Structure 1
Amino acid sequence: MDRLTEMEAFATVVDQGGFTDAARKMGISKSAVSKHVSALEARLGARLLNRTTRRVSPTEIGLAYYDRARRVLNDAGEADALVTSMQSAPSGLLRISVATDFGVNHISPVLSDFLTEYPDITVNMVLNTRYVELISEGFDMAIRIGEQEDSSLRARRLCETSQRMIASPGYLQKFGRPQRLEDLNEHKLLHYSSQAAGNVWKITTASGEKRQIRSNGWLTVNDGQSLLNAAISGLGIALLPSFLYADALRQGLVEDVMPALPGETLGIYAVYPPGRFTQPKVRAFIDFLVQTYAEKGPDSW
């Protein structure tokens, strides 16, 4: 007889308190349940149930075996559910957290294509500039940029962006183009206020040395698009990702302030809670983004 069926028959008898109710629960005859349990006891060489005319109860060994058997049966049920889920069409509410700059410029424009392809999914996209706790705040996934510090989350690299200092031609004509990193101390810098380190730029020199540039800055704001607008209008120099400034650079509205410096490359990731399997709706959206951004980055935005 099938070992799993024997375990199920025994566990169901314990759960239901007797063979009759167990047979009704399993949809088989009472004699079939009895045969499964007897076969299990014979195979194990132990009596698992105390049988009287009035009631059936597990023996001490039977109770210990029941605990383990129930775990095995639950795992088997989860395995079946996993296969069913993996093959089912993606559906349900997908709640995602995205950095405002990237969400507005590169997620929002493609959502219609995704929702058309997966009409049974609904999306709740939250744009913010802070680090969110996915599980405690109820998010299915997030799009994050740069080094991923939370190793407890699963992450899939979508594409890359580069980070450079940009300024308008008018600003550089009026204030001059810095030739060395030290020259930045004499310039008007535009800062992103959500940086954990404060008004500090981390720059890689041509030799590969990591340098930190500290300045009070002329403008500090927690929105990259606002910094780009300020740079275009000639207010100063901003350190921004290519996915934000690429169009302005192509149009000649801004220039690379120090083109001799290597661009800082940052990964763009889809992150989601760990688990035994990825929900179909999450997997579908990540696969969609991977395909969408296949030709993007680090400088081709």
Structure 2
Amino acid sequence: MDRLTEMEAFATVVDQGGFTDAAKKMGISKSAVSKHVSSLEARLGARLLNRTTRRVSPTEIGLAYYDRARRVLNDAGEADALVTSMQSAPSGLLRISVATDFGVNHLSPVLGEFLQEFPDITVNMVLNNRFVELISEGFDLAIRIGELEDSTLRARKLTDTSKRMVGSPDYFRKFGRPEKIDELNDHKLLHYSNQSNGSVWKLTAPSGEKRQVRTAGWLSVNDGQSLLNAAISGLGIAYLPSFLYAEALKDGLVEEAMPELPADRQGIYAVYPPGRFTQPKVRAFIDFLVHAFADKGPDNW
């Protein structure tokens, strides 16, 4: 007889407290359940159940075997569910959290292609600049940039971006270009107002030394595109990711403030809740993003 079927019959008898209810649960005859259990006991050479006219209960050996058997059966059930899930067509509502800058400039433009490829998926994309709790807030996936905090979330890297200081040619003509990190204190600096570390730029000197610059200045904004617009307008120097400034740099609207400094490279990741298998809609979207950004970053945007 099939070993897994024997284990299932025995475990169901224990769960249901008898052969009659176990037979109903499994959808087979009572005699078939009894035959499976008897075959299991004969193969193991041990009595697993105490049988009386009123009740059936596991022996001490039977109880120990039940714990292991139930784990095996649960794993087998999850394996079946995994195969079914992986073969099913991606569908349903996909809730995504993404930082406004990246969402507007790079995720929104590719969503149409994704939805055409997977018409049974609907997307709810939430743009914000705060750290969301995926599970408690009901998100299937988030796009995060920079060093990932320790967590139980799973992550897949999509690409890289680099961060550099940029300003307009007009600004540098008027105020000069900083030659040393310390000279940034004499310039008009533009910074994000919602960063967890406050108004601090973390820079790397040509020597490799890590430096921190407090970026008090004319303008604080919680939106990177607004900072780029301010830099283009000549209001000061902004420290931005390449996915924001790359086009403006190519068009000559901004220039690097200190090109000799090493760029700060940051990863861009898709993060999603843990689990033994990934929902088809989530897996489909991540695979799509990996393909969509395959030729992007760190400076090629």
Into which bin does the TM-score normalised by the smaller protein fall? Answer: over 0.9
Corresponding position of 2:228: 228
Residue 111 of structure 1 corresponds to: 111
Work out the CA distance in 2 between the residues paired with 1:61 and 1:197.
Answer: 59
Q: In terms of mean alpha carbon deviation, does 124-133 or 105-114 score higher?
A: 124-133
Matches within 5 A, 1:135-214: 135-214=135-214
**Gap runs ≥5 in structure 1:** none
RMSD of equivalent CA atoms = 1.8
Q: What's the CA shift string for 1:197-249, capped at 9, x where partnerless?
A: 21111112222222111231111111101111111111111000110011212
Q: Which moved more, 1:111-120 or 1:257-266?
A: 257-266
Report if aligned partners of 2:190, 2:215 keep a CA contact under 8 Å in 1. no
Q: Which amino acid aligns with 1:95?
A: R
Counterpart amino acid of residue 176 in structure 1: G
**Which runs of no fewer than 5 residues in structure 2 stay unpaired?**
none
1:22, 1:155 → 2: CA distance? 42
Q: Which residues in structure 2 correspond to 1:249-268 (within 5 Å)? A: 249-268=249-268
Cα offset, 1:151, TM superposition? 4.4
Does the aligned pair in 2 maintain the 1:193–1:220 contact within 8 Å? yes
Q: Which amino acid aligns with 1:161?
A: T
Q: Percent same amino acid among aligned pairs?
A: 82
The residue number in structure 2 matching 1:297 is: 297
The aligned amino acid for 2:146 is: G
TM-score by length of 2: 0.93
Structure 2 residue aligned with 1:275: 275
Q: Which residue of 1 aligns with 2:69?
A: 69
Return the offset for 1:39: 1.0
Partner of 1:44: 44
Q: Distance in 2 between matches of 1:201 and 1:15?
A: 61
Please state whether the residue corresponding to 2:238 is helix, strand or coil: strand
Per the normalisation by structure 1, the TM-score is: 0.93
Distance in 1 of aligned mates of 2:17 and 2:149: 51
Q: Which structure 1 residue ranges, 4+ long, deviate > 4 Å from structure 2?
A: none
Amino acid at match of 1:100: T
Partner amino acid, structure 2, of 1:286? I
Instruction: Give the AA of the match of 1:206.
Output: P
Indicate conservation of the 8 Å contact 1:199/1:217, yes or no.
Answer: no
Separation (CA, whole Å) in 1 of partners of 2:122 and 2:52: 56
Report the Cα offset of residue 268 of structure 1.
Answer: 0.8
Secondary structure in 2 matching 1:235: coil
Q: Alignment partner of 2:162: what SS?
A: strand
**AA of the residue aligned to 1:157:** K
Query: How many residues matched?
Result: 301
Query: What is the deviation of 1:98?
Result: 0.7
